[in-house]
Amino acid sequence: MQKWICTVCRHIYDPDEGDPVNDVPPATSFEELLEEWRCPVCEAGRNLFEPYPDPKQRLEEG
Ligand SMILES: [Zn+2]
């Protein structure tokens, strides 16, 4: 499934693992997260996440 990365703290949301901090069970896609879901690390909103890996960033990572 598609992973998403927090643009604030670079935490990666992995749908295969879910989010134990926020009681999100494994196999929960990013789209299925609640509106009020927040990054478990920095509490950034969902709108601050972007798909990972981002093709644009891959170039920088080499
Ligand atoms: Zn974050």
pLDDT digits (tens, 9 = 90+) for 6-49: 999 999 999 999 999 999 999 999 999 999 999 999 999 999 99
**51 CA → ligand 1 middle, Å:** 14
- Predicted confidence at residue 54, as pLDDT, reads 72
Structure tokens at 15: 């749908």
Tell me the residue range of the domain where 48 lies.
Answer: 3-61
- Number of separate domains in the chain: 1
Record the pTM.
0.84
The pLDDT of residue 56 is above 90: no
**59 CA → ligand 1 middle, Å:** 23
- Predicted confidence at residue 19, as pLDDT, reads 98
Neighbours of ion ligand 1 (CB under 5 A): 6, 8-9, 11, 39, 41-42, 44
**49 CA → ligand 1 middle, Å:** 8
- CATH number of the domain where residue 31 is located: 2.20.28.10
Structure tokens at 47: 């709108």
Q: Which residues contact 8 (CB under 8 A, 6 or more apart)?
A: 39, 42, 44, 48
Q: Which residues contact 28 (CB under 8 A, 6 or more apart)?
A: 15, 18, 19
